[in-house]
A and B are shown apart, each in its own frame.
Chain A
Amino acid sequence: MSMTAPLPDADVIIIGCGPSGMAAAVTLAEAGRSVIVLDMQPAPGGQIFRSLEANLCDTSPAGQSLLAALGPAYRAGTDLIRRFRACAEIDYRPQTTVWEVRPDGTVGWLQGMNAGYVRGRQVLLAHGAMERPVPFPGWTLPGVMTAGAVQTLLKAGHLKPSGRIVLAGTGPLLLLLANQLHQLGVKPALVGRTDRLSDSVRASRHLRPDGLLPLVKGLGWLGRLKLAGVKSVTGLENLAAHGAQNVESVSFTAGGKRQTLPCDLLIVHDGIVPAIDIPNAAGLRLQWDGPNASWRPATTPDGLGASTLPPELSAGPCVLRVTGDARSIGGADAAIAHGKVAAQAILAELDHGAGPSGDALRAVDKALSVRPFLDAAFPPGLSQNLPDDDTIVCRCEELTAGDLRAKIRSGFRNMDALRGESRCGMGPCQGRSCMVTAARLLQDETSAAGCPPTFRGRPPIRPVPLGAVATLSGLDPRATIRLTLEDKPENASEDTVNAPAE
């Protein structure tokens, strides 16, 4: 029986329209390649340049003060977005969510109530990062939000937080947000950092000349907050949010003392990590990034991923590359630099060019050179210790660390058995908020070391409404045969102790 492969819809499909995806799209389109860019947000920009186009057009005094508060790093995206919009070869599809990616270049998408598959000769995953999940007592209460969420409300909602505000956690984004709020006249009751002076001292040996500018910027933020009289602590531990229906107070330990503060909005942040939902479901090999305490896809320097699917289960060789913060946390400059590298590698693959230039590769190294310093200066804090038994780990299914520990102790000693038994990771978020904690609990209970195991990723990684399934377009009869739910092998590192027989 022979079935022909459907024709590709574009030379390249790019998932994500942040700095890395836009830089790659522009490079490819300027070389004459057809590109489809899929992004679930309504406008180009990704996390850092979110709503930039709209905000640049807002000439009202409030709009101008928002732009001033968001600072030059935000406006720096203006040119890239203009160039992206100017490329007629780019087929940009906003508000389009990707729910499946296969190593052979097939991509499942959802837009409103329409869904389907598109195929690229090459596919670039530029889907970015997410904030590190931080289970602590009370983190599901209304009134607890992430720093990224509050920043998104500023950029895209023109909303500023009000009432008694506490910021807790670590990382550049937390301090950046505190400063942006301060510039908009919002004075937090406390900025509580989990990092300590000793972290900065230890980090200083990683300092490279290229890292001095970010350092000066960071010290400037701290100085301004201090001048404004914003109360701050370092070495914050054991954070908890309290309240019956929403946050009413927060408590924490700092300097050996337990403190409680009244609070309406608790803003938490524990650094950002590569979003691995798509790579994991696509069957790409993941590795553990020790200094950033996160998974990342294993890739070549130009971003090519390694498929863990045996060849007979895939409709072709792996054509997936990963770029930007989805590959390695580095911020906007590194994302743009690597987007170009990945695009040059793709052009070489498509018979059109010599591969990444030395200049392009050096630009990535330069932009990433500050990372070792930042990783050491802002180590994970809120998520450092495993949660107590009473703390919720899986927000969707409301499972506590104690629930999971009990299941593990009763014999469910690998991730998929634990998921099947407990439903942890089976809710709408598909494990994005709980997987890393579940994996750490499993390793802790079984005294395992090495790369924490993942749930086996299964499409759809984002819910597709039934009505949309009915309209599914672009199905590939070959892939339907080859790819079943059970075809994806375990990640190489996964502990494969089986569930007990019932």
Chain B
Amino acid sequence: MFSDLATLTDAVTLSVDGQPVKARAGETVAACLLRAGVPYNRLTPVSGARRLPYCMIGHCFECLVEIDGIGNRQACLTLVREGMKVRRQAGAPPALEPSVP
């Protein structure tokens, strides 16, 4: 759905559900997930439907993920960091299940 304007130079590596993923330094976690082509960043707590970021400016809360052990963080407002651990959310964060690929 998205591709880079230019090859990544200034890259950092974070882990998404345990897999190493490269990101451009200074970008948001949401941008990194979209570049990586994940099919969803969370499954809704109500029906388990797949969701991806929708507004990218902090209003819709569709981009929620777990970051470094804390659930429900807005991926579109959080900058990537070397070694950051991101997990996609399955349902409500207190009942986090092992991530589905």
Residues of A within 8 A of B (CB): 40-42, 47, 54, 60-63, 65-66, 95, 97, 113, 130-131, 140-146, 148-150, 152-154, 156-163, 184, 245-246, 264-265, 275, 395-398, 427-429, 432-433, 463, 465, 467
Contact = CB atoms under 8 A, between A and B. Distances in A.
18 contacts: A40-B77, A60-B9, A113-B70, A145-B53, A145-B56, A149-B56, A153-B2, A153-B56, A154-B5, A159-B31, A159-B35, A246-B39, A395-B54, A395-B62, A398-B49, A432-B59, A465-B70, A465-B72
Interface in B62-93: 62, 64, 70, 72, 76-77, 79
Contacts of A152: 56-57, 76
Majority secondary structure of chain A interface residues (helix, strand, loop or mixed)? loop
Q: Interface centre among B5, B40, B60, B61, by most A CB within 10 Å?
A: B5
B59 A433 contact: yes
Contacts, number: 126
Given A156-B28, A159-B35, A428-B61, A140 B2 contact: no
Interface string B1-14: 11111100100000
Nearest to B9: A60
Given A395-B62, A463-B72, A467-B70, A158 B54 contact: no
A160 B54 contact: no
B3 A159 contact: yes
Contact of A148 (B6, B49, B57): B57
The range of chain B's interface size is 35 or more
B66 to A, nearest CB: 12
A90 B61 CA distance: 30
A397 B79 CA distance: 27
Given A40-B77, A130-B55, A152-B56, A158 B6 contact: yes
A149 B64 contact: no
A131 B57 CA distance: 10
B2 A162 contact: yes
A325 to B, nearest CB: 12
Contacts of A63: 6
A157 B52 CA distance: 16
B99 interface: no
Given A130-B55, A142-B40, 6 more contacts: A140-B51, A145-B52, A145-B54, A159-B31, A429-B60, A433-B59
